[in-house]
Structures are given as structure tokens and as C-alpha cells.
Amino acid sequence: MIGDAEPTGVLTMPTAQPSFRLIVDEIVEKIRTGDLKPGDKLPSTSQLASAYGVSNNTVYRALAILHDRNLIIGQQGRGTYVAERPAQ
């Protein structure tokens, strides 16, 4: 009977984070550990998109977050670089 049917499973929210967050987190970690130093040039948008298997728009979103956090700076026609750290 339909009314007596037991549920076959529980719906759960996906645990994977959005792709742009993964990119942000990995770049932040590389800056934190010194793998990326102030003045280092980041790979191009298309190189990052290819490396992470995402669209350019996803990379743009990640870079916008990093820029908003003052972790990177973009130089028109030259690329994107790790920002200098403020004096502490």
C-alpha cells in the first residue's frame, strides 16, 4: 500500500563547496604558506580555468573575491599579481 511505504533514503544537502570557493581557498592557502609571495604573477584566467576544470566566469568570480580581500591586484594588460602585504 502506498500509505505504508517506508522512505527509501534521506535527502541531504551537497557537501561540496562551489568551485570558485575552492579556487579562493587554495590561492589564500598558497599566499599564507608563502608558496605565492607578494609580486608573484598568478596564472592567466584561461590557465586557471583549465587547471580547475571550470569556466572563465568561475575564475573571474574567485579573482573578484581575492581582489575584494586585497590579496591580489590586476594590472591591465599585464596580469594578476599577489598584493603586497600591509606593514604589521
Mean pLDDT to the nearest integer, 51-73: 97
Sorted by sequence, the CB contacts under 8 Å of residue 41 that are 6+ apart come out as: 79, 80, 81
Domain of 71, CATH number, reads 1.10.10.10
32 has pLDDT over 90 = yes
Mean pLDDT to the nearest integer, 50-59: 96
Residue 7 lies in a domain: no
- Average pLDDT along the chain: 86
**Can you read off the three cell numbers belonging to residue 57?**
566566469
R_g of the chain, CA atoms, integer Å: 19
User: Domain of 54?
Assistant: 17-82
CA dihedral 60, 61, 63, 68 (to 10 degrees): 140
The number of distinct structural domains making up the chain is 1
pLDDT of residue 1: 45
Residue 47 lies in a domain: yes
